[in-house]
Structure 1
């Protein structure tokens, strides 16, 4: 088992990486943010927050992953 680092900066780094993975998956599939948020039934603001690396719920990540046809694990890797 690993110990956590002394601060939580690593969490922000991982959220940024997840946001970048969402953006990259969307761009590879050549779909717009509008297409994703409407298909995922989330708000535009929520998708923008996810891509920016802000805190989002697991349900939101699952919706985005499903719409982009990518395993959730690939987004959070």
Structure 2
């Protein structure tokens, strides 16, 4: 079993990585934030928070993955 690091900085890094993946996949599909937030039925603010690594609820990520037509795992990749 792996021990957790002494601080939670690794969580912030992972959230930022996930946000970068969301942004990259969105841009590869030539979609705007407007396109994605409307299709995913979420606020633009929520999508912006995901892309900057501030927000990453599972239900939000599932909506985004569906709109981008990718498996959830693609958003989570390093």
Specify the TM-score bucket, using the shorter chain as the normaliser.
over 0.9
Report the equivalent of 1:75.
75
Give 1:55 deviation, angstroms: 2.5
Report the equivalent of 2:56.
56
Report the equivalent of 2:15.
15
Structure 1 stretches of at least 4 aligned residues deviating more than 2 Å after TM superposition: none
Give 1:39 deviation, angstroms: 0.1
The separation in 1 between residues aligned to 2:4 and 2:55, in whole angstroms, is 19
Conservation of the 8 A alpha-carbon contact between 1:46 and 1:56: no
Give 1:74 deviation, angstroms: 1.0
RMSD of aligned residue pairs (Cα, Å): 0.7
The separation in 1 between residues aligned to 2:43 and 2:3, in whole angstroms, is 36
- Gapped regions of structure 1 (runs ≥ 5): none
